Amino acid sequence: MPLSWALIASLLLAVAGYLIGRNRALGAAGPDVRMLHSRPTYHGVSVALTTFGPAAVIVVLALLLRMTGQIDPTTGGVAGLAVLGGAILGLGWGISRIGADFQARSAVERMVMSVLIICSLIAIATTVGIVLSLIFETGSFFQKYSWHEFFFGLEWTPRFDGNSRLGMLPLLWGTLYISFIALVVAVPIGLFAAIYLSEYASPRIRSFAKPMVELLAGIPTIVYGLFALITVGPMLRDWIAQPLGLGNSASSVLTAGLVMGIMLIPFVSSLSDDIINAVPQSLRDAALGLGSTPSETVRQVVLPAALPGIVGAVLLAASRAIGETMIVVLGAGAAATMSLNPLEAMTTITVKIVSQLTGDNDFSSPETLVAFALGLTLFVITLCLNIVALIIVRKYREQYE
Amino acid sequence: MYDTTRTESAVSQQDIKISARNVQVYYGEKHAIKDVNVEILDKTVTAFIGPSGCGKSTFLRCINRMNDTIDIARIEGEIRIDGDDIYDRRVDPVQLRAKVGMVFQKPNPFPKSIFDNVAYGPRIHGLARNKAELDEIVEKSLRGAALWSEVKDRLHEPGTGLSGGQQQRLCIARAVATAPEVLLMDEPCSALDPIATGQVEELIDQLREQFSVVIVTHSMQQAARVSQKTAFFHLGNLVEYGDTDDIFTKPSDSRTEAYISGRIG
Amino acid sequence: MTDMSNHASRISLFEVDPRTRRRNAAEKRFRAYGATAICIAVIALVLLVGTILRDGSGAFRQTYLSMPVALSAEKLDPKGNRDPAEMSKVLTLAYGRVLDDALDAAVAQMDTQIEGLSEKDMTGLVSKEASAQLRDRVLADPELVGQTVDVNVLVNGRIDGYFKGRVSKESAERDSNTSPQQLMLADALAEDGVLVTRFNREFITNPDASDQRPEAAGVGIAILGSLYMMLVVLFLSVPIGVAASIYLEEFAPKNRLTDIIEVNISNLAAVPSIVFGILGLAVFINFAGLPQSAPIVGGLVLTLMTLPTIIISTRAALKAVPPSIRDAALGVGASKMQSVFHHVLPLAMPGIMTGTILGLAQALGETAPLLLIGMVAFVREFPAAPPEGLFDPASALPVQVYNWTQRSDPAFVERASGAIIILLIFLLCMNLLAIFLRRKFERRW
């Protein structure tokens, strides 16, 4: 890779530039170093940056052009020479600027600042990348498949020989049903756990229970998925579904919902904990001073005051549940059915994104492209939930600050 | 053991409402209250004064067991209200706090309507049999706190929307509504401007007709204006306790004299 | 007393009135709900970790056939010149026959005879992987040919499962891959010390194996792939994340643009991870043409995913440094940038490191986006050393787990759980390191 060699060469040039710059500055200062506007080190760094900066920019440009197919990868030699040329020109210009009056520190700080700004723009670039890639591919999906059928179709039967029915509603139903069960499990348990830890638990219990709950949060979702697949699923099937005659499948809405609920407990509890602790102690004192019991204080004063924050936390948890993938892939099943029976296998948006995009993909068939439309739907739903939740939580925080 | 007859035969025409014997309070290792003995009279305003950190607020919070809510606090000795030791195992702090109300340093109305703020105590303690009675209690308490005329048209607006002085009087009304026998006030005017302070002080004087009022204050002028009895705390000790006039004109302890003349504080 | 008092308050404090008793009962119930919630969470954790440990501990023990094998020269080196190039033309099948002969000899030496033992039971006892193992060993050292050497080779997954209690003689009746006779033979061989169960080092170092040979499957490539991705994440997300945080926290003016960036970052932190996978597929693979299954792509996707986490925790660490430190530096004539890089950043370092480690731990366990960029592929070749190795196909620990759950042989469940144990050990170490850093350098201002 000549490009990488050119990059290494320009790094060496930058080091040389640093040494030259520092020496030149010392020379320009004459006998008294204090004559310089900036410390000699800054002169060195300024030369090094002017050397390496252009080289790095040319490398990035070359890579971009190569990726988009504008230039042939075989022209690496030319690109490498351009990089080296940029570095040498930068070196010359950097050295020529040195003098007793040159404000090297300000120059270096300006350059560092632009690096900092570029780094913080990467967050925006990521979002733009997500949105563009989703919209672009979704667009080509809707050219091949009617958007009306996608959003309102009640049937999901992808076929590789064409004639697929790609209606999203069964997937949306499965997603919402599983998320609902997960929230029914996670919200009361997480909320009560947070209340117990912040209002009741003795320091000893807290020092034991809190890390335990936090440990649950640190476990990757694939572990929960495996737990659903080999433990919870068969247990629900053998103990509940089969005796009651409600189903024969180990993977079911209830399996995925239950396990996802467990996964969300620490999420809900740590968010609620923050929110409950933000309620000022003076309100608790007021209620206790009037003779409320601690539970009356929590129910009638703390929770109503914390309600907006808790609603925000529940919305965030809902967005987590809707976007969760591994637990549903391993626990919910693959059948796109719409039913009320929680012991039946159903499927979700995320499961279908995975199944349509793994394996050999033909990126011109609607069966593959539909995954991008599903991804865009998922992105929009979770984004809306997050924005609303963040606004609510932020308003709530400001109220008590 | 003490009994009620002993309290009845005590000093002057006025009854002793609260009597503390050998009270010690520890915050972890710190000995915050050292051996305090005091008898507080009914229908009297008693002021606790002293430099900050002297333990006056700590002692006040012992009287309705608010220190129970602090994990590391430990209390020894006995405090009797009407002869009953409030630290007895049989006493439920919830019931005690209904009988001994408290008003805090910063006005802390609940984020609910004015009406709901005042009605909170009667509701949890079940003091009203129906809505009409509850309305009556709320009105009476607000009148008692000299706030009725200002808020009677906006009872269902949030209590947090009132001015500082109004909020503090709302908190007093809220405490009064539970029908306490003792009212504890922890520097109730420290967060208020002079006009609001004047209103609250006037109110305290009226409350004396119904309750035994104990007020912690860092302002000696306030103690002199509102109280009949004054207790001076210093470094966790109760240094001197007596009629307010005597304390301010002829203190018997040199530390009290140093404090009221402004040499320590 | 006064008209304000009421009957309830005149009762002695020693008597608890009925209403208070009711309220205290409600209090107790409420408290019990809270304790129950905590218990449920703790039980769930214990159950989760317990079942994984129960199912996965088997992966670290493996049954081996340990016997002398005569490496017949005419079968393995027909030309007789010990030239590795010539010998490599000998197929694995020949080594299988050598092993079968050795097993026959070992069985012949035994006292017990087993009724109805078929030829298939005999050959099927040895893992299909065993002949390949032997071949590799001989090719590495051609001088072994003609000698009789002691070898340790894997046995079939069913036999291994029998010693771990996964397979029984009853289940073997219904199983086409094994038979009760084969299990009896295994028992007899175990008694003779030919079959031994010991620690399974190969599980940690071996690459994945195909569907029919769970006994040979290991997480070697997966660990290496995860490590490569973590390197990419570390080298990209830390500098970028810290630089972005410094700008946003210390320099950014309050304007529309920085507002948008802020909202953006907190939203990105909550975007489902699978969406990042779609981004990786669309941008890095389809648009930029990077190879599928490569750690570089996985690392880039995980970098974008962890960046918001790192930025949020770094900003919190920077914010915790009191303004007086900045004022002090500015007061002696340092520039704003000098005050940040000389004073604020070093003081915030422990917090930044803790946040980074936790972000890395999150990235290490992430599965969904990696599925979409082809990390599920079956990889047998170890990737080269970085940087070239970053472009070679590899797997990743959590993806390997997913991969194994999709296989039909129940022996892979054990492997999947074993891989999770390794993953959890890594995560535990990272979390302990983070806690240690926080404890050691925590500073209260």
The tokens of C67 are what? 């016997």
> Are A310 and A163 in the same domain?
yes
Do the Cβ atoms of A283 and B110 come within 8 Å?
Answer: yes
Split at pLDDT 50, 70, 90, the class of A43 is confident
Using CA coordinates, name the residue in chain A closest to B176. A290
**A359 pLDDT more than 90:** no
Q: For residue B2, what pLDDT is reported? A: 43
**C3 pLDDT more than 50:** no
Is A246 inside a domain boundary?
Answer: yes
> Are C288 and C141 in the same domain?
no
Q: Which among B81, B127, B144 has the least Cβ separation from residue C13?
A: B81
Q: What value does the mean pLDDT of chain C take?
A: 86
**C199 pLDDT more than 80:** yes
Tell me the pLDDT tens digit for each residue of A114-159. Answer: 999 988 888 888 888 899 989 988 999 999 888 889 999 898 988 8
Q: For residue B12, what pLDDT is reported? A: 45
> Are A93 and A187 in the same domain?
no
Which residues contact residue B136 at a Cβ distance below 8 angstroms, ignoring those fewer than 6 apart? B128
Residue B142, helix vs strand vs coil: helix
> Are C38 and C70 in the same domain?
no
Domain termination residue (choose one: C179, C205, C231): C205
A-chain residues near B71 (CB < 8 A): 202-203
Q: For residue B89, what pLDDT is reported? A: 86
Split at pLDDT 50, 70, 90, the class of C239 is very high
Tell me the pLDDT tens digit for each residue of B177-203. Answer: 988 999 999 999 888 888 888 888 988
**C12 pLDDT more than 80:** no
The distance from CA C418 to its chain's CA centroid, rounded to whole angstroms, is: 8
Output the CA angle A212-A213-A214, nearest 5 degrees: 90
> Are A90 and A187 in the same domain?
no
Higher model confidence: residue A161 or residue A17? A17
CA of A156 vs chain C CAs: smallest distance (Å):
21
**Contact with chain C for residue B125, Cβ under 8 A:** yes
**A34 pLDDT more than 80:** no
> Are A165 and A113 in the same domain?
no
> Are C48 and C65 in the same domain?
no
Q: What value does the mean pLDDT of chain A take?
A: 87
Domain termination residue (choose one: A117, A147, A177): A117
Phi, psi angle pair for C409, to nearest 5°:
-65, 125
Q: For residue C444, what pLDDT is reported? A: 63
Interface pTM, i.e. ipTM: 0.89
Residue C210, helix vs strand vs coil: coil
Do the Cβ atoms of C6 and B144 come within 8 Å?
Answer: no
Q: Which among A120, A375, A386 has the least Cβ separation from residue C247?
A: A120
Cβ(A177)–Cβ(A346) under 8 Å? Answer: yes
Tell me the pLDDT tens digit for each residue of B107-141. Answer: 999 988 999 999 999 998 888 889 999 999 999 99
**B6 pLDDT more than 50:** no
Tell me the pLDDT tens digit for each residue of C71-122. Answer: 888 787 777 777 777 777 777 888 888 888 888 888 888 777 777 777 788 8
Q: Which of A288, A290, A295, A307 to mutate to test the interface with B (most CBs of B within 10 A)?
A: A290
> Are C78 and C225 in the same domain?
no
> Are C234 and C380 in the same domain?
yes
Q: For residue A68, what pLDDT is reported? A: 67
From chain A residues 81-100, the ones with a CB under 8 A of any chain C CB are: none
CATH of the domain at C280: 1.10.3720.10
Name residue B100's beta-bridge partners: B182
User: How many domains, chain A?
Assistant: 2
Higher model confidence: residue A365 or residue C35? C35
First-residue to last-residue Cα distance in chain B: 39
User: Percent of chain A having pLDDT more than 90?
Assistant: 37
Q: For residue C445, what pLDDT is reported? A: 60
The tokens of B127 are what? 């003091």
> Are C379 and C406 in the same domain?
yes
Domain termination residue (choose one: C41, C56, C71): C56
**C17 pLDDT more than 80:** yes
> Are A246 and A322 in the same domain?
yes
Q: Which among B66, B102, B124 has the least Cβ separation from residue A292?
A: B124
Q: For residue C169, what pLDDT is reported? A: 83
C-chain residues near A134 (CB < 8 A): 275, 278, 282
- Count of H-run helices and E-run strands, chain C: 21, 3
Q: For residue A401, what pLDDT is reported? A: 59
Q: For residue C300, what pLDDT is reported? A: 93
Tell me the pLDDT tens digit for each residue of A53-90. Answer: 888 888 888 877 776 666 666 666 777 888 888 888 88
Q: For residue A255, what pLDDT is reported? A: 94
Split at pLDDT 50, 70, 90, the class of B4 is very low
Output the CA angle B232-B236-B241, nearest 5 degrees: 25
**Contact with chain C for residue A116, Cβ under 8 A:** yes
- Greatest mean pLDDT range, B5-14, B96-105, C182-191: B96-105
Distance CA A353, CA A323 (A): 11
Domain termination residue (choose one: A70, A91, A117): A117
Q: For residue A209, what pLDDT is reported? A: 86
Residue type, B156: H
Do the Cβ atoms of A350 and C274 come within 8 Å?
Answer: yes
- Greatest mean pLDDT range, A287-291, B65-69, C379-383, C388-392: A287-291
Domain residues for the domain of A216 are 156-399
Q: For residue B7, what pLDDT is reported? A: 39
Sheet holding C148-154, edge to edge: C148-154, C61-70, C195-199
> Are C401 and C272 in the same domain?
yes
**B1 pLDDT more than 50:** no
CA of B247 vs chain A CAs: smallest distance (Å):
30
**Contact with chain B for residue A302, Cβ under 8 A:** no
> Are A86 and A222 in the same domain?
no
Is C211 inside a domain boundary?
Answer: no
Q: Hey, how many other C-beta atoms are within 10 angstroms of the C-beta on C432?
A: 11
User: What is the set of domains in chain B, with CATH numbers?
Assistant: 4-108+185-260 (3.40.50.300)
Q: For residue C145, what pLDDT is reported? A: 83
Q: Which among C6, C14, C19 has the least Cβ separation from residue B84?
A: C14
**Contact with chain A for residue B98, Cβ under 8 A:** yes
Where is average pLDDT lowest: B7-11, B38-42, B102-106, C396-400? B7-11
From chain A residues 297-326, the ones with a CB under 8 A of any chain C CB are: 298-299, 316, 319-320, 322-326
> Are C377 and C423 in the same domain?
yes
> Are A93 and A15 in the same domain?
yes
**Contact with chain B for residue C332, Cβ under 8 A:** no
Is C212 inside a domain boundary?
Answer: no
Q: For residue C397, what pLDDT is reported? A: 94
Is C210 inside a domain boundary?
Answer: no
Do the Cβ atoms of A203 and B71 come within 8 Å?
Answer: yes
> Are A262 and A370 in the same domain?
yes
Q: Which of B95, B96, B97, B182 to mutate to test the interface with C (most CBs of C within 10 A)?
A: B95
Domain termination residue (choose one: A117, A136, A171): A117
Is A149 inside a domain boundary?
Answer: no
> Are C46 and C69 in the same domain?
no
In this prediction, residues A352-377 reach a mean pLDDT of: 87
**C344 pLDDT more than 80:** yes
Split at pLDDT 50, 70, 90, the class of B153 is very high
Is A142 inside a domain boundary?
Answer: no
> Are C12 and C26 in the same domain?
yes
CATH of the domain at A302: 1.10.3720.10
Domain termination residue (choose one: C205, C234, C264): C205
For tokens 């020989």, name the residue.
A161
**Contact with chain C for residue B42, Cβ under 8 A:** no
The tokens of B18 are what? 């609260």
Q: For residue C6, what pLDDT is reported? A: 43
Q: What value does the mean pLDDT of chain B take?
A: 87
B-chain residues near C15 (CB < 8 A): 90
Do the Cβ atoms of C48 and A293 come within 8 Å?
Answer: no
**B259 pLDDT more than 80:** yes
> Are A17 and A94 in the same domain?
yes
**Contact with chain C for residue A373, Cβ under 8 A:** no
pTM: 0.86
Tell me the pLDDT tens digit for each residue of A305-353. Answer: 888 889 999 999 999 999 999 999 999 988 888 888 899 899 999 999 9
Split at pLDDT 50, 70, 90, the class of B10 is very low
Q: For residue C215, what pLDDT is reported? A: 87
> Are A359 and A217 in the same domain?
yes
B-chain residues near A292 (CB < 8 A): 94, 124
CA of A68 vs chain B CAs: smallest distance (Å):
59
Q: Which among C265, C273, C365 has the least Cβ separation from residue A123?
A: C265
User: Percent of chain B having pLDDT more than 70?
Assistant: 94
User: How many domains, chain C?
Assistant: 3
> Are C42 and C87 in the same domain?
no
Tell me the pLDDT tens digit for each residue of A217-256. Answer: 889 999 999 999 999 999 999 998 888 888 888 899 999 9
Q: Which among A205, A227, A383 has the least Cβ separation from residue C48?
A: A227
Q: Please tell me which chains touch C, using 3 or more CB pairs under 8 Å as the contact test.
A: A, B
Tell me the pLDDT tens digit for each residue of C281-292. Answer: 988 888 888 888
> Are C241 and C354 in the same domain?
yes
Q: Which of C258, C265, C275 to mutate to test the interface with A (most CBs of A within 10 A)?
A: C275
Domain residues for the domain of C103 are 60-205
Is C1 inside a domain boundary?
Answer: no
Is A146 inside a domain boundary?
Answer: no
CA of B196 vs chain C CAs: smallest distance (Å):
25
Q: For residue A382, what pLDDT is reported? A: 94
Name residue B229's beta-bridge partners: B46, B243
**C141 pLDDT more than 80:** yes
Distance CA A167, CA A148 (A): 9
Is C340 inside a domain boundary?
Answer: yes
Split at pLDDT 50, 70, 90, the class of C277 is very high
Q: Which among A203, A290, A305 has the least Cβ separation from residue B120?
A: A290
> Are A277 and A360 in the same domain?
yes
Using CA coordinates, name the residue in chain C closest to A202. C35
Count of A–B CB contacts within 8 Å?
65
Q: What does DSSP assign to residue A33?
A: G
Distance CA B200, CA B198 (A): 5
User: Percent of chain A having pLDDT more than 70?
Assistant: 96
**Contact with chain B for residue A306, Cβ under 8 A:** no
Cβ(B212)–Cβ(B183) under 8 Å? Answer: yes
The tokens of A122 are what? 């990467």
Is A136 inside a domain boundary?
Answer: no
Widest distance between CA atoms in chain A: 96
Split at pLDDT 50, 70, 90, the class of C9 is very low
Distance CA C265, CA A309 (A): 20
**C35 pLDDT more than 90:** yes
Do the Cβ atoms of A283 and B66 come within 8 Å?
Answer: no
Count of B–C CB contacts within 8 Å?
53
Q: Please tell me which chains touch A, using 3 or more CB pairs under 8 Å as the contact test.
A: B, C
Residue B187, helix vs strand vs coil: coil
Is C215 inside a domain boundary?
Answer: no
Cβ(B119)–Cβ(B134) under 8 Å? Answer: yes
